């Protein structure tokens, strides 16, 4: 029992001695210094404070994109093409992420979307035997343009034929968006002519 009491007395005496307090202060100081050095090293290796402003890649082709981003230590990846936009050159950047002006770290990947080579092809709907009032909105909604409207003697005022570049156009044909489709429409006078006879 005396041995245990003597042990704790000696321990308390050591804890409150100058030597222990000096060693404790040195140990705390070493931990603080090592933590500071570690944080500084981490920040320098991860470019914590280094920020690169993302340049605008709009309307640039892939060669230009690669040159611009390489100079800024950035990378890029091409995403799927968007719908064709006539305001942008073909195969040029139409969208980018992150956007121009954003601040990123070195070696960040910039995602770019390219303008395709042209409008995609769309299936021509079957509007034959529909009235002009019904047919035109359907064609326009799909992205086609209405060209000349030719009238042909017929009892109804329905669409009789579709034409493109002077040739007869069958429903179901794949045609480039914004293509012009001409209509051949019945004049609705055939019935009156027959009645007058």
> What single string gives the DSSP state of each residue in 129-170?
TSBHHHHHHHHHHTT-EEEEEEEE--SS-BEEEEEETTEEE-
The CA-atom distances, in angstroms, between 94 and each of 7, 16, 88, 99, 114 are 79, 72, 7, 11, 5
Q: Which pTM was predicted?
A: 0.51
Residue 10, pLDDT score: 63
98 preceded by cis ω (within 30°)?
A: yes
At 176, list the tokens.
């480039």
Residue 108, pLDDT score: 92
Per-residue pLDDT of the chain (197 residues; tens, 9 = 90+): 666 666 656 656 666 667 767 877 888 889 899 888 888 777 666 555 578 999 999 999 999 999 999 999 999 999 877 678 888 998 899 999 999 999 999 899 999 999 987 788 889 999 999 999 999 999 999 999 999 999 999 888 899 999 999 999 999 999 988 899 999 999 888 655 444 44
The CA-atom distances, in angstroms, between 181 and each of 31, 64, 79, 123, 168 are 79, 38, 33, 12, 10
Residue 39, pLDDT score: 80
Q: Which residues lie across from 186 on neighbouring strands?
A: 152
- Report all structural domains of the chain as residue ranges with CATH numbers, in order of start: 52-114 (3.30.10.20), 121-196 (3.30.10.20)
Contact 175, 119 (CB under 8 A): no
Residue 124, pLDDT score: 95
Residue 38, pLDDT score: 81
CA distance 130 to 63: 50
CA distance 114 to 15: 71
Residue 196, pLDDT score: 42
């Amino acid at each position: 029992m005396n041995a245990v009491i003597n042990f704790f007395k000696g321990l308390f005496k050591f804890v409150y001695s100058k030597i222990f307090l000096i060693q404790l202060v040195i140990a705390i100081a070493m931990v603080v210094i090592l933590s500071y050095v570690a944080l500084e090293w981490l920040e320098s290796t991860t470019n914590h404070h280094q920020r690169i402003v993302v340049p605008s890649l709009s309307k640039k082709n892939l060669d230009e994109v690669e040159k611009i981003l390489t100079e800024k230590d950035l990378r890029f990846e091409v995403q799927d093409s968007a719908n064709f936009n006539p305001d942008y050159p073909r195969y040029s950047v139409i969208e980018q992420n992150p956007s121009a002006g954003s601040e990123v770290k070195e070696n960040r990947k910039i995602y770019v979307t390219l303008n395709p080579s042209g409008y995609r092809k769309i299936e021509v709907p079957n509007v034959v035997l529909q009235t002009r009032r019904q047919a035109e909105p359907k064609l326009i909604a799909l992205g086609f343009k209405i060209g000349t409207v030719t009238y042909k003697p017929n009892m109804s005022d329905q669409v009789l034929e579709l034409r493109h570049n002077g040739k007869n156009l069958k429903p179901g044909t794949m045609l480039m968006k914004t293509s012009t489709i001409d209509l051949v429409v019945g004049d609705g006078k055939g019935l009156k002519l027959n009645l007058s006879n």
